[in-house]
Amino acid sequence: MNTTLAAFLSCVLSLPFTAAQAESLRCKGGIASEGDSRLSLIYKCGQPLLADSFCAAVYFGSSPHPVPEPFASTVLPCQVTEQWLYERGPGDLLATVTLRAGKVQSITYGRTPQ
């Protein structure tokens, strides 16, 4: 088999196994990305425009259904989740940074917060 064809096939077959690219947020103090600590986020991007915290649903094992409320609040600890909203300037989309356990969990962009 041709070496070029073999190289092409190996690249095509390895595509499903490549890691997904995580979002990042470019700020004046640097680039914030998933896995950064809350302190690192504040250092790089400053205080958010708005901030909110809530108790996220708790899931047991690999079940797609959350633990029902009477059991969730008495047996399982609350999963505190914070969402910080950053306005990036005119013409740029708003950035919503989700934090769990003091670390950046995800960064999403949109015109309005969800």
pLDDT in tens, 36-87: 999 999 999 999 999 999 887 777 677 777 766 666 666 667 788 999 999 9
Q: Is 9 helix (H, G, I), strand (E, B) or coil?
A: helix
- Comparing C-alpha atoms, which of 40, 33, 54, 46 is closest to residue 86? 46
pLDDT of residue 23: 85
pLDDT in tens, 17-43: 444 557 899 999 999 999 999 999 999
pLDDT of residue 10: 52
Q: How much is the pTM? A: 0.68
pLDDT of residue 88: 86
Contact yes or no for 106/23 (Cβ under 8 A)? yes
